[in-house]
Amino acid sequence: MSQTFNAVKQQEENLLCRSYSRYPLAVARGAGAHLWDVDGRKYVDLLGGLAVTGLGHCNEELCATLERQAHELWHVSNLFYQQNQLDLAEILLSTTHHTKAFFCNSGAEANEAAIKLARRHMRRVKQHNAATIITLNDCFHGRTLATLAATGRDALSDGFTPLPDGFAQVPAGNLEALSSAITPATAAVLVEVVQGEGGVVPLPAEYLRGVQALCRQNGILFLCDEVQAGMCRTGRFWAFQHYGLEPDIISVAKSLANGLPMGAILATDEAAEGFEPGSHATTFGGGALTSAVAAKTVEIMLRDSMADRAAALGERVKKQLEALRRNMPDKIRDVRGLGLMIGIELVENGRKVWEALLRRGYVCNLSHGNILRLLPPLVIEETDLDGFVSTLGQTLQM
Ligand SMILES: *Cc1c(COP(=O)(O)O)cnc(C)c1O
């Protein structure tokens, strides 16, 4: 490690709460799907800031929008009407069957809003006192206390209990288990179409359709967490659109403003009736600056057909990875995912492989100890993906 890097590392240890275990990389600059560290070394970014920089680092058009808006208006709060927020709502809602938006600042906050809206909808619109939210094993919905309860993983809530009541969890993929878990106290079922933090696990189409059908039969709400899988990542604008689903509420964040903190829920008119003035709010949500950048992000994604690009690039790299797996079945157990949300499950612990990839200039994520997770900017070029696949092959051969 260089002296420059070690100085940064030392400073971090001195100044910040110890809540992260960080990669041995101090990033100085980014452009498109590339990063440069403090020593000037270049990397291919296959992580995209955790599925956030969909249009790449320092996208020129977004920089221009940011700069223009920075001289116009940053923030006034939701006490005021703001055209930027309406422009964003209009273009974002044009991508889906939903008709109402609520803006906030993160994925967890979007899920909090979805949970609150579902509960209030049941009580105030359906006149039925139901509050329980059912989630699936291996899901991830955030780190606030309620979304930790929804996530239901003991390791993540260690030391933080008590968590809020009103959550239940069932095994993913099992409709009978879900059916028997639904009671008169159930308000909604919340799912990820592709479980991201759970190890990039796409849920089967038939199962997802079955979940929606059970929600309809029982008069409860069907919620999709699109925080990671949404915004063109999986090859459709929204992951639920692969299967013709019509969730009542979706939560959105990560790529929404390409790196500025922003979240949202999108809801049908009927579901949205659960809120009334004063029932839910946030100070920063939908501010002029973030809204302007988010609206431009959505505009570019639609104009440049980023969903199709993600589908084509994803298909291509998955084929190559599949060929690699056939050549090295003793090294790679499974290749899965949708679009540019890809998981490569290794047979053995992948720490050494992940480190070697980083040394050779490829940044990706390692989860569960043996799953390499790829969430690259959707603007990544084929040559960079090809380079990753061949470098992975060489690394696994060692
Ligand atoms: C990242 C993520 C969240 C949490 O988002 P934050 O912005 O970190 O609060 C929630 N749900 C899913 C599916 C995610 O991937």
| pTM (2 d.p.) | 0.98
Please name the residue whose Cα sits nearest to atom 15 of ligand 1. Answer: 228
Q: Which atom of ligand 1 is nearest to the CA of 106?
A: 7
371 C-alpha to ligand 1 centroid (Å): 18
Span 354-378, mean pLDDT? 98
- The pLDDT value given to residue 1: 82
Span 49-56, mean pLDDT? 98
Q: Which atom of ligand 1 is nearest to the CA of 142?
A: 4
- 260 DSSP 8-state letter: B
* Cα 326 to Cα 310: distance, rounded to the nearest angstrom: 24
Burial class (CB in 10 A: 0-12, 13-18, 19+), 209: middle
- The pLDDT value given to residue 331: 98
388 C-alpha to ligand 1 centroid (Å): 26
DSSP per residue over 347-371, as a string? SS--HHHHHHHHHTTEE-EEETTTE
Q: Domain 73-303 - what CATH class? A: alpha beta
Alpha helix stretches (DSSP H) within the chain: 3-15, 48-51, 60-70, 83-93, 107-120, 145-151, 154-157, 175-181, 205-217, 269-272, 288-303, 306-327, 351-359, 382-397
Burial class (CB in 10 A: 0-12, 13-18, 19+), 98: buried
Q: Which atom of ligand 1 is nearest to the CA of 229?
A: 13
Please name the residue whose Cα sits nearest to atom 5 of ligand 1. Answer: 107
Q: Which atom of ligand 1 is nearest to the CA of 197?
A: 15
Percent of the chain exceeding pLDDT 90 equals 99
- The pLDDT value given to residue 225: 98
Q: Name all residues whose Cβ lies below 6 A of ligand 1.
A: 106-108, 111, 140-142, 192, 196-197, 225, 227-228, 253
Residue 254 pLDDT more than 90?
A: yes
Q: Helix, strand, or coil here: 42?
A: strand
Please name the residue whose Cα sits nearest to atom 11 of ligand 1. Answer: 141
108 C-alpha to ligand 1 centroid (Å): 6
**Amino acid making up residue 126:** K
Nearest to 26 by CA among 12, 46, 44, 15: 12
Please name the residue whose Cα sits nearest to atom 10 of ligand 1. Answer: 141
Domains 3-58+306-397 and 73-303 equal at CATH topology level: no
136 phi/psi in degrees, rounded to 5: -110, 150
Indicate the helix (H) or strand (E) that contains 58: none
DSSP per residue over 143-208, as a string? SSHHHHHHH--HHHHTTTPPPPS-EEEE-TT-HHHHHHH--TTEEEEEE-SEETTTTSEEPPHHHH
* Cα 227 to Cα 147: distance, rounded to the nearest angstrom: 13
Contact 104, 153 (CB under 8 A): no
Residue 398 pLDDT more than 90?
A: no
The domain segmentation of the chain, as residue ranges, is 3-58+306-397, 73-303
276 phi/psi in degrees, rounded to 5: -140, 165
Which among 153, 227, 249 is the best mutation to test ligand 1's pocket, defined by most ligand atoms within 8 Å of the CB? 227
* Cα 56 to Cα 45: distance, rounded to the nearest angstrom: 9
Q: Which atom of ligand 1 is nearest to the CA of 253?
A: 7
Q: Which atom of ligand 1 is nearest to the CA of 50?
A: 1
106 C-alpha to ligand 1 centroid (Å): 7
State how far the alpha carbon of 240 is from the alpha carbons of 15, 223, 233, 236, 265, in Å.
42, 10, 12, 8, 14
Contact 253, 101 (CB under 8 A): no
Binned at pLDDT 50, 70 and 90, residue 348 comes out as very high
- Note the pLDDT tens digit of each residue in 155-170: 999 999 999 999 999 9
Please name the residue whose Cα sits nearest to atom 8 of ligand 1. Answer: 107
Span 16-41, mean pLDDT? 97
Contact 319, 111 (CB under 8 A): no
Contact 135, 166 (CB under 8 A): no
CATH number of 3-58+306-397: 3.90.1150.10
* Cα 69 to Cα 55: distance, rounded to the nearest angstrom: 19
The number of residues in the chain equals 398
Q: Which atom of ligand 1 is nearest to the CA of 196?
A: 15
Which among 254, 282, 365 is the best mutation to test ligand 1's pocket, defined by most ligand atoms within 8 Å of the CB? 254
* Cα 8 to Cα 122: distance, rounded to the nearest angstrom: 50
- Note the pLDDT tens digit of each residue in 111-168: 999 999 999 999 999 999 999 999 999 999 999 999 999 999 999 999 999 999 999 9
Residue 296 pLDDT more than 90?
A: yes
Task: Extract the tokens encoding 4.
Answer: 């420059």
Binned at pLDDT 50, 70 and 90, residue 110 comes out as very high
109 C-alpha to ligand 1 centroid (Å): 9
Q: Which atom of ligand 1 is nearest to the CA of 139?
A: 13
End-to-end CA distance of the chain: 22
* Cα 121 to Cα 173: distance, rounded to the nearest angstrom: 27
143 C-alpha to ligand 1 centroid (Å): 8
324 C-alpha to ligand 1 centroid (Å): 31
**Amino acid making up residue 186:** T
Average pLDDT over the chain, rounded to an integer: 98
* Cα 321 to Cα 315: distance, rounded to the nearest angstrom: 10
263 C-alpha to ligand 1 centroid (Å): 10
Residue 103 pLDDT more than 90?
A: yes
Percent of the chain exceeding pLDDT 70 equals 100
- Note the pLDDT tens digit of each residue in 179-236: 999 999 999 999 999 999 999 999 999 999 999 999 999 999 999 999 999 999 999 9
- The pLDDT value given to residue 356: 98
161 C-alpha to ligand 1 centroid (Å): 20
